[in-house]
Structure 1
Amino acid sequence: MSVLRTAMVTGAGRGIGRGIALGLAQAGYRVALVGRTRAHLDSVADEIGGSAFVAAADLIDPTEVDDAVVRAEDELGGIGLLVNNAGVIERSSTDFVEDDVEDSWRVIEANVRGPLLVTHAVLPGMLARGSGRVVNLNSGAGHRAMTEYTGYAISKGALARFTTQLDAQYRDRGLRVIDLAPGHVETQMTTAMPMHAGRTQWTPVEAVAELVRAFGDGELDALSGRFVRAGTDTVSSLQAATAQILAADARTLSLSRYGDDDPIG
């Protein structure tokens, strides 16, 4: 089994993606930075130094995604860790009836189609080596109903199911995959959301990057297919709780039963 300390981070030009990319680079990873805006990616690459590779791509365009992945694999010698970070949210905060369905669909497409395309392009190389790890940047909205941002909530719920699908299909072939909610990181996207107006406590992006680094290094492999949250979970707290999480089959998308006689298994 070949383990590569190389990573591809989508949406790496700013915000959480930038923080993850910098953290991985500081931990010794060679990093491919992928996103729509070349200038933003180049700026992060300059911060990292000569080991970073940049590929600008529209992540919902399969041709552009395939090209970016091929070039990144050639440059890095393969991708050991994929971080599906790129994502968007609706332009306005409202309930579904008042929402613009086309805007909701824009969000769903970016947050679901993007990770599907990128993972589909990266996965063959991982499976051929018998080893690979995927981090899907998720949210509490993926498992908790919201009174607004319907498209965003749908997209994160779908992403959570994608995580469990990948784990079920490829765990025995060496793939590990996890949902990581970043908590409340102060970014351009989060500060524009009315629900965060007046917030003074933010999750440090370094906490997100550390969980990604630990997962990439195999320290949280036992939690593949499950959900963790930066700012609440730490590497040590998750390791201490792993046996309890597995025994309860917790931190994963599922349907609760009302009892042993529930016919819905």
Structure 2
Amino acid sequence: MSDRTDTPALPAPRTALVTGAGRGIGRGIAVGLARAGYAVALVGRTRAHLDDVAAQVEALGARSVTAVADLVDADAVARAVAHVEAAFADLGGIGLLVNNAGVIERAETDLAADDVEDVWRVIETNVRGPLLVTHAVLPGMLARGGGRVLDINSGAGHRATDTYTGYGISKGALARLTTAIDAQYRHRGIRALDLAPGVVATDMTAGMPMHDGRVQWTPVEEVAELVRAFGDGELDAWSGRFVRAGADTVASLHALTQQVLDADARRLRLAAAGPDDPAV
């Protein structure tokens, strides 16, 4: 945790940039934010998918803007963010960034049996993408005195698994990015949160053998509601921490806040062996 004095987050524009917004969880988040009155920027690789979601957003009476970009391409990311900032200039710029875009390995297997190039593809997409987008969005937020960054994470980021090595590595790194943003910029009005979406029925989960036969799924609306609450500042006390849709709700998080703060819990760290453990 940063030892710098916290600066209260200023009211941020009700605008959001959502990556991977063309389908799946990103689509659900974008539509949910639009339903809540947000102007939504949709960023992804496939124009047709983004245009479909833009039509949904606008049918709800919300403003949308789209930008096609490969999120591991720094120049493409910079152009996309500049386009969104310009489009939202009259609304105050980007208030909420949702780093949702991500991939998983093609094979559900352990590291030795996996294609290491595919493992690296997952790590690069899931870490470099959010890093580049956050790096591009932060200057505007800092200039305005605040903003919120939400990273779509996973239990695999803090819990070791016997398959999908690259995915676990990438989500662990993403969790460290979230804590770094909180430590570096909380005193300048920035808030950051890791949100695991649970298990949502998407094209990605449909292709994962571990979910064959699953009948219980996390409704994407529950994910979108937690994103909305964070964007509106209701979860600012949770900055730098981890929440999970399907287990946490806005109400349950409010009830748990003081306990979590007192214990400094729900944060990525090395567990100490005891109060005098010299390694921690």
Short-chain TM bin = over 0.9
Distance 1:162 1:108 in 2: 14
SS at match of 2:29: helix
The one-letter amino acid of 1:29's match is: Y
Distance 2:261 2:241 in 1: 10
1:41 to 2:50 alignment: yes
The one-letter amino acid of 2:16's match is: A
Structure 1 residues 137-176: aligned runs within 5 Å: 137-176=152-191
Q: Let me know the Cα RMSD of the aligned residues.
A: 0.8
Q: Which residue of 2 aligns with 1:58?
A: 70
The one-letter amino acid of 2:26's match is: G
1:247 to 2:262 alignment: yes
Uncovered stretches (5+) of structure 2, i.e. residues with no partner: 1-9
1:123 to 2:141 alignment: no
The answer to whether the 8 A contact 1:167-1:177 is kept is yes
1:133 to 2:139 alignment: no
The answer to whether the 8 A contact 1:89-1:107 is kept is yes
SS at match of 2:21: coil
The one-letter amino acid of 2:78's match is: D
Q: Which residue of 2 aligns with 1:203?
A: 218
Distance 2:64 2:272 in 1: 48
1:74 to 2:80 alignment: no
Q: Runs (4+) of structure 1 moved beyond 6 Å?
A: none
Q: Which residue of 2 aligns with 1:235?
A: 250
Distance 1:207 1:146 in 2: 25
Distance 1:260 1:21 in 2: 44
The answer to whether the 8 A contact 1:45-1:53 is kept is yes
Distance 2:16 2:67 in 1: 13
The one-letter amino acid of 1:44's match is: V
Distance 1:262 1:218 in 2: 36
Distance 2:275 2:73 in 1: 46
The answer to whether the 8 A contact 1:135-1:178 is kept is yes
TM-score by structure 2 length? 0.94
Cα 1:201–1:2 change in 2 (3 A) is closer
Distance 1:74 1:155 in 2: 31
The answer to whether the 8 A contact 1:82-1:135 is kept is yes
1:10 to 2:22 alignment: no
Q: Which residue of 2 aligns with 1:20?
A: 29
Distance 2:148 2:64 in 1: 19
Distance 2:73 2:180 in 1: 22
Measured after TM superposition, the shift of residue 48 of structure 1 is 1.1
The total of aligned residue pairs comes to 265
Measured after TM superposition, the shift of residue 150 of structure 1 is 0.2
Measured after TM superposition, the shift of residue 261 of structure 1 is 2.4
Distance 1:220 1:261 in 2: 32
Uncovered stretches (5+) of structure 1, i.e. residues with no partner: none
Give aligned-pair identity as a percent.
71
TM-score by structure 1 length? 0.99
Q: Comparing 168-177 with 44-53, which one deviates more in the overlay?
A: 44-53
The one-letter amino acid of 1:53's match is: V
Distance 1:260 1:34 in 2: 46
The one-letter amino acid of 1:3's match is: A
Measured after TM superposition, the shift of residue 2 of structure 1 is 5.4
The one-letter amino acid of 1:104's match is: V
